[in-house]
């Protein structure tokens, strides 16, 4: 079976193109966020996954829950997803859409993993240096992972900068056994 992100990407690209053409990326972001939240609800997930529910009933129920928050394009997306049995991938579609939107706006998301809590000044300096390196605005989330022993690990898209003690020890062990 294909990876969910692989299936979701074409839908996200289509929604992004529609939003870009109509200069309504923020509205599409809002609509997809709502639809993903509805699709992620435990009761709605059970309803979506119930094979006894007719597609037309599922479509009607989903659109009714979303109310007038979806424009015609958003409603059409829901109809297509219901038709092809892909309503459950809405959270992945939303995530892929937000990545495309962030790229378009020149914003990169960075994940900073530190061994201990970083001060606000350290975080600000690190974000500033990442912005200089990548030439784009960076929005960072900082998490703490004591298993990296010391240092930091930064993930920006496909780029991983691993300056952790754990990684250095693994590299040393590899070098010694080679």
Tokens of 134: 């990548």
pLDDT by residue (tens digit) across 15-50? 999 999 999 999 999 999 999 999 999 999 999 999
Helix (H), strand (E) counts: the chain: 8, 4
Q: Which of 75, 102, 129 is the last residue of a domain?
A: 102
- Long-range contacts of range 83-88, CB-CB < 8 Å, 24 or more positions apart? 83/55, 86/7, 86/11, 87/39, 87/48, 87/58, 87/62, 88/39, 88/45, 88/48, 88/49
User: Using an 8 Å Cβ cutoff, are 90 and 32 in contact?
Assistant: yes
Claim to verify: residue 26 and residue 92 sit in the same structural domain: yes
Q: What is the mean pLDDT of residues 57-76?
A: 94
Q: Which of 77, 102, 127 is the last residue of a domain?
A: 102
Q: Angle formed by the axes of helices 90-104 and 4-21, to 10°? A: 50
Claim to verify: residue 113 and residue 60 sit in the same structural domain: no
Q: What is the distance, to the nearest Å, from the Cα of residue 116 to the centroid of all Cα atoms in its chain?
A: 26
Which residue range is the domain that position 80 belongs to?
4-102
Q: Which of 102, 118, 142 is the last residue of a domain?
A: 102
If 0-12 CB within 10 Å is exposed, 13-18 middle and 19+ buried, where does residue 12 land?
A: buried
pLDDT by residue (tens digit) across 42-65? 999 999 999 999 999 999 999 999
Claim to verify: residue 34 and residue 96 sit in the same structural domain: yes
Residue 136 has pLDDT above 90, yes or no: no
**Based on the structure, what is the number of domains in the chain?**
2
pTM for the full model?
0.66
């Amino acid at each position: 079976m294909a990876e969910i992100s692989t299936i979701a990407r074409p839908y996200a690209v289509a929604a992004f193109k529609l939003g870009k053409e109509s200069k309504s990326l923020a509205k599409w972001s809002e609509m997809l966020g709502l639809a993903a939240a509805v699709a992620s609800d435990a009761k709605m997930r059970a309803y979506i996954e119930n094979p006894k529910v007719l597609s037309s009933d599922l479509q009607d129920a989903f659109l009714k829950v979303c109310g007038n928050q979806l424009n015609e394009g958003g409603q059409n997306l829901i109809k297509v997803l219901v038709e092809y049995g892909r309503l459950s991938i809405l959270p992945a579609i939303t995530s892929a859409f937000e990545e495309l939107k962030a790229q378009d706006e020149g914003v990169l998301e960075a994940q900073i993993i530190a061994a201990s809590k970083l001060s606000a000044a350290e975080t600000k300096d690190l974000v500033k240096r990442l912005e200089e390196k990548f030439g784009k605005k960076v929005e960072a989330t900082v998490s703490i992972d004591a298993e990296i022993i010391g240092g930091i690990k930064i993930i920006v898209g496909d780029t991983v900068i691993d300056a952790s003690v754990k990684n250095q020890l693994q590299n040393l062990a590899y070098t010694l056994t080679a």
